[in-house]
Amino acid sequence: MQGTVDGFSYGAVTPLVAYLMACLGGALGLRCTTRSLLVTHSWRPAWLALGSAAIGSGIWTMHFVAMMGFAIKETPIHYDKPITYASLGLAIVMVGVGIFIVGYRGATGAALFTGGTITGLGVASMHYLGMAGVHFHGHFTYNTFTVAASVVIAVVAATAALWAAGRVRGFMWSVGASLVMGLAVSGMHYMGMAALGVHLDGTSHAAGGAPEPSVLAPMLIGPLAFLLLAGIVVIFDPLMVMGRPVPIPVEQKPGVPAAAVASHPDRRPALQEGRRPVRRAEHHASRTPQNR
């Protein structure tokens, strides 16, 4: 028996809120990734990890906010919590692998392609693993072509986002990149939902419909709290917002040996109080032209 799917049980509310969650996670993750490229190597892993968790949490939150509006009219829906939380962990880990590749190799060439591909596959894997945690009296089927299109959207969106993290420095450019990333991630979600087919096992006597907000809301509290904390970090760190480089002492710059810095002390003549600087006596060759 074919089930009747309604992906917008609450109208435009769930798609709009889901899009904002994707933009928020993308914005925080991109700023953290940009910040990691402006600091010394000792702090870089921490910023990259924070960016990975922000993007992964934002994408996961977007997915399940959108799922609040998903309903099968003939049967109720339940969620398997272990699988649901596993999809969150998978998103953070795979996004993290892609971000660390770009963070250490740069947003160019093979590193960008590899990091974007892994990150995009992480987004798509999170979506379909999360759908595997949806239980009802039946099973899902998927259209292969539409699923492939959703994966391509995820990979392209992730690659563009990582490129923006490595290249874009201005605040307004980062906001624009986050809006585009949120649109792409939301588009990937609804493209994946368009590939969905529902087959019911017999007739269920229970009333169907969208899950109550109280079912998914407790699972969303943790990621939302994390996004809030990450947002506070961004707000109170103007260097993350503006994307300006951190001044690094000469002796800590790559390619400058410490011995070279130590062997070149300040050569400016010391000024004595009330006196002009004393010049060292130097031998100059006579510049008087010779008489021929």
pLDDT tens per residue across span 30-64: 888 877 877 767 788 888 898 888 888 888 889 98
Q: What is the mean pLDDT of residues 213-229?
A: 72
In this structure, is residue 250 part of a structural domain? Answer: no
DSSP, collapsed to helix, strand or coil, labels residue 292 as coil
Of the chain, the percentage scoring pLDDT greater than 90 comes to 17
Name beta bridge partners: 138. 200
Rounded Cα gap, residues 126 and 6, in angstroms: 21
In this structure, is residue 72 part of a structural domain? Answer: yes
Q: Are strands 5-6 and 71-72 parallel, antiparallel or unpaired?
A: antiparallel
Q: Is the pLDDT of residue 209 over 50?
A: yes
**Residue 155 CB neighbour total at 10 angstroms:** 21
Where residue 271 falls among pLDDT bands split at 50, 70, 90?
Answer: very low
Q: Is the pLDDT of residue 267 over 60?
A: no
Average pLDDT across the chain, whole number: 77
In this structure, is residue 225 part of a structural domain? Answer: yes
Between 41 and 102, residue with greater pLDDT: 102
Residues 6+ positions from 277 with CB-CB distance below 8 Å: 269, 270, 271
Q: What is the DSSP letter of 137?
A: S
In this structure, is residue 180 part of a structural domain? Answer: yes
Where residue 148 falls among pLDDT bands split at 50, 70, 90?
Answer: very high
pTM: 0.72
Q: Is the pLDDT of residue 95 over 70?
A: yes
Tokens for 255, please give them: 């390619």
Q: Is the pLDDT of residue 270 over 80?
A: no
Q: Is the pLDDT of residue 237 over 70?
A: no
Name beta bridge partners: 135. 78
**Residue 111 CB neighbour total at 10 angstroms:** 18
Between 210 and 21, residue with greater pLDDT: 21
**Sequence-separated contacts (24+) of 205-210 with Cβ below 8 Å:** 206/75, 206/76, 207/76, 208/71, 208/72, 208/73, 208/74, 208/75, 208/76, 208/77, 209/9, 209/71, 209/73, 209/76, 210/6, 210/9, 210/10, 210/68, 210/69, 210/70, 210/71, 210/77
In this structure, is residue 284 part of a structural domain? Answer: no
What angle in degrees, to the nearest 10, is found between the helix axes of 44-67 and 213-235? 150
Rounded Cα gap, residues 33 and 106, in angstroms: 11
Q: Is the pLDDT of residue 272 over 50?
A: no
pLDDT of residue 216: 67
In this structure, is residue 207 part of a structural domain? Answer: no
In this structure, is residue 254 part of a structural domain? Answer: no
Which residues form the domain of 74? Answer: 12-201+217-236
Assess contact for 82 and 227: CB atoms under 8 A: no
In this structure, is residue 156 part of a structural domain? Answer: yes
Name beta bridge partners: 142. 196
Q: What is the mean pLDDT of residues 55-83?
A: 88
Structurally, the chain folds into a number of domains equal to 1
Where residue 191 falls among pLDDT bands split at 50, 70, 90?
Answer: very high
Most confident of 25-34, 162-171, 243-252, 281-290: 25-34
